[in-house]
Amino acid sequence: MNLLVTILSWFSLVLGGVFCVVGAIGLLRMPDFFTRMHAASVIETLGAGLILLGLVLQAGFTLVSVKLLMLGLLILFVSPTATHALARAAMVRGIKHLAVEEKSSSKP
């Protein structure tokens, strides 16, 4: 049983790290602000969640696990809210989405 928990924990930690690296590459490769923000928010939540799950499995049933689960809930609620606030601020500021810019530039 201990070996199974260790394997699941490391699998979760490695997969979470891979998702975070993919999100970082997405930040570099995406063409405009809104697609970069989308890549960062979705991958960050999933990657951090998997890493926290791996850490909870490593910690066992202790107070550390409770703290990690509370941190996971905080990330789960704060990350989408912060992304929404950032997108709204960008729209108010006048930053246009790449697709909107392409449509407006193609009109005669």
Tell me the C-alpha to C-alpha distance, in Å, between residue 43 and each of 14, 62, 80, 84: 14, 28, 11, 15
CA dist 38 and 83 (Å) reads: 8
CA distance 94 to 48: 31
- Mean per-residue pLDDT for 56-66? 93
What is the predicted pLDDT for the residue at 34? 87
> Is a pLDDT exceeding 70 seen at residue 104?
no
Orientation angle between helical segments 63-93 and 33-59, nearest 10 degrees = 180
| Mean pLDDT rounded to a whole number for the chain | 88
User: Quick one: pLDDT at residue 32?
Assistant: 86
Q: Which of 15-19, 41-45, 74-78, 104-108 has the lowest mean pLDDT?
A: 104-108
Q: What is the C-alpha to C-alpha distance for residues 72 and 64, in angstroms, rounded to an integer?
A: 12
